Amino acid sequence: AQKITQTQPGMFVQEKEAVTLDCTYDTSDPSYGLFWYKQPSSGEMIFLIYQGSYDQQNATEGRYSLNFQKARKSANLVISASQLGDSAMYFCAMRESTINNDMRFGAGTRLTVKP
């Protein structure tokens, strides 16, 4: 079963505006981590932000914040004040606390920032 769902294949945002990229997840593990990565056209995977399942507050890293709604099992990425350099693929991922806890990735959302 799909554990990470990103329902937006593509998104457009005007420069300087905020944008929310959706991510829902499925797990029965009470302890897990949620991650967002950015992949520009060069292909490198850049870590953006992390949220632990027991964290009480939403994670923030500069212009990135994670809107964590545990009961709804959603972990949306919010990018404030979009810049042209934010145009990229964005992947949501989850890692559970099981022994062979490899990370599971969503299908990704391609964000395009318009000037």
Total of residues contacting other proteins (CB under 8 A):
26
DSSP string, 76-108: EEEE-S--GGG-EEEEEEEEESSTT---EE---
CA distances from 78 to 19, 31, 90 (A): 6, 23, 11
Taking the least distance from each CB to other proteins, the nearer of 81 and 101 is 101
Which of 23, 59, 108, 113 is close enough to bind other proteins by CB under 8 A? Answer: 108
Considering only 11-19, 59-67, 74-82, 95-103, which stretch makes contact with other proteins by CB under 8 A? 95-103
Whole-angstrom Cα distance, residue 41 to residue 46? 12
8 binding other proteins? (CB under 8 A): no
Residue 31-70 contact track with other proteins, rule CB under 8 A, x = bound: xxx-x-------xxx-x--x-xx-----------------
Shortest separation between residue 16's beta carbon and other proteins, angstroms: 27
What is the C-alpha to C-alpha distance for residues 44 and 60, in angstroms, rounded to an integer?
Answer: 22
CA atoms of 28 and 23, how far apart (whole Å): 17
Q: Which residues bind other proteins (CB under 8 A)?
A: 29, 31-33, 35, 43-45, 47, 50, 52-53, 91, 93, 95-97, 100-103, 105-108, 110
